[in-house]
Structure 1
Amino acid sequence: MPDWLDIVMRSFIFVVVLFVMTKMLGKRQLAELSVFEYISGITIGGITSEVVMGLERNIINAIIAIFIFSSVSFLVEWISLKNKKIRDFLEGTGTVFIKDGKIMEDNLKKEKYSADELLELLRKKNVFNISDVQFAMLEQTGDLSVLLKKEHRPVTIKDLQMPYQSKKEPQTVIMDGVILDEALTIGGLNRRWLHEELEKLGVTKENVFLGQVDSDGQLTVDLYDDKIKIPTPQEKPLLLATLKKCQADLELFALATDSKSAKAMYAKNANKLKDMIQKLEPSLHD
């Protein structure tokens, strides 16, 4: 067998072997490497490249070595999940770098980080002033978690004491022109509703690259043909405008009537409608 064909066959075999081993180790191997996973990854890569290019090597022995290193990582991960002390020993624990705006110099030295490196990590979190930081910890993965002091955190709806409504995750109901019935069912919808909404937009499902329904039951679509203009949904703004008009009409009726009882009734209901609009406006205002 020619050398080039042998290399092709070995490469193909090890692509499959490495894929199987990576799937066995799980997604965490791809996102965050522990010490054992880091060692195993380097070693497996070295074994693979050596056997793929070194034709005199025994391919079975290489597969056995890769299996052993993968099994060690898998076993260590399994033991870590069962015992926190072992997990802390193998994977380490977080290290506090900043507390109450004060840098913990001893912890920086312990983790072999300089002040410049700390500032770089903070800048990646869009933090440029140490005194703005309430708490910062270096995680086991090498990422820096930062908690700003309360006065420097972004203002939230809760801080403003404004009424708000929790949102559910949007459901993708069309993908590549194909209707996803499971997503429709989760959203409490059906195909008839979807076809009616597509008719309102003047598009067909075949021309929809991606279609999603938000928590308010509003359909938005992205089309293959970007030249087609999709009309902006008007249901919520129209409903808000209608409610405000009703409130204004009630207030007008209260001013126009001479009957004290009718005046009181119109004024009372106008105030009720005003309170309702204040609660609904965050959801209806686009």
Structure 2
Amino acid sequence: MQVHIDIVLRTIVAMIMLLLIAKILGKQTISSLTFLDFVTGIILGSLAANLAFNKDLKSSYMIVALIVITATSFLLSVIAIKSRRMRSWISGSPTVLIENGKILEENMKKVRYSLDSLDQALREKEIFNLEVVEYAVLEDNGMLSVLKKQEYQYVTRKDLKLLSVSQSFPVELIMDGILIEENLENNALTKEWLENELRRKGKRISDVFYGVRGTQKQLVFDYYEDKINKPIDKE
């Protein structure tokens, strides 16, 4: 019984340590990975697993190892920010795979990137014809960035000389039927104003599952009672 309790406690400690480490290293660690993030993630995962289940290793040793790895990764990330030359070695650098619509075979070989992988990455960007592409760059996080040829690019409001529409960041007002008063205060809104808006629709705050003020300051509500007789269930 004592062994089981010890494993539970060590696992909880490992989870808390990883959460703290993720907070320290920042969001980049959990987004698309660079070389440094990939190596750091593997080592941290291995150390955390040993901390949780390998009772032959002292917890203090594993915690020290986690702290050292975190500090080393943080230091390398700071160096990468300060030094362009070191950043290329630590995090990698972008590689041009298509230039002026032509595939650069040597660059493809250098990064060991196959034509199948290139085709797949292009299809994921809804590009099925190579003739559409002007430039394609393999970023240091493994993602493919694509610039289409001018004749295949989307038309913007500026191209059509349309008047621009002011936009604002969406503001969540209600979640799970509960008013988010902090968001109201930060945006100079009041509970009375929101209640009046809902009253016009014959609703109350408690009727709303999710409420948000959109990018053009329009109010969007999703109610608990959706009045959908046969909701779609694809499972």
TM-score bucket of the superposed structures, by smaller chain: 0.7 to 0.9
Q: How does 1:159-178 map onto structure 2 within 5 Å?
A: 159-178=159-178
Report what 2:202 is aligned to: 202
Name stretches of at least 5 consecutive residues in structure 2 with no aligned partner: 229-235
TM-score by length of 2: 0.87
Q: Which amino acid aligns with 2:124?
A: K
* Distance in structure 1 (CA, Å) of the matches to 2:105 and 2:64: 46
Report what 1:136 is aligned to: 136
Q: Which amino acid aligns with 2:22?
A: T
Q: Which amino acid aligns with 1:40?
A: T
The one-character-per-residue Cα deviations of 1:73-103 (angstroms, maximum 9, x if unpaired) are 0111112122222212211211111111111
* Distance in structure 2 (CA, Å) of the matches to 1:215 and 1:94: 34
Give the match's secondary structure for 2:157.
coil
Q: Which amino acid aligns with 1:52?
A: A
Q: Does the 8 Å CA contact 2:35/2:92 hold for their aligned counterparts?
A: no
Judged with a 3 Å threshold, the aligned counterparts in structure 2 of structure 1 residues 5 and 119 are, in CA distance, closer, same or farther, namely same
* Distance in structure 1 (CA, Å) of the matches to 2:91 and 2:50: 29
RCO (CA 8 Å, sep 6+): is it higher in 1 or 2? 2
Name stretches of at least 5 consecutive residues in structure 1 with no aligned partner: 229-286
* Distance in structure 1 (CA, Å) of the matches to 2:50 and 2:181: 49
Report what 2:30 is aligned to: 30
Report what 2:57 is aligned to: 57
- Tell me by how many angstroms 1:186 deviates: 4.9
Report what 1:153 is aligned to: 153
CA RMSD of aligned residues (A): 2.1
Report what 1:14 is aligned to: 14
Matched-pair identity in %: 36
Judged with a 3 Å threshold, the aligned counterparts in structure 2 of structure 1 residues 131 and 179 are, in CA distance, closer, same or farther, namely same
- The alignment covers a number of residue pairs equal to 228
Give the match's secondary structure for 2:137.
strand
The one-character-per-residue Cα deviations of 1:237-274 (angstroms, maximum 9, x if unpaired) are xxxxxxxxxxxxxxxxxxxxxxxxxxxxxxxxxxxxxx
Q: Which is higher, the Rg of structure 1 or of structure 2?
A: 1
Judged with a 3 Å threshold, the aligned counterparts in structure 2 of structure 1 residues 112 and 197 are, in CA distance, closer, same or farther, namely same
* Distance in structure 1 (CA, Å) of the matches to 2:44 and 2:111: 28
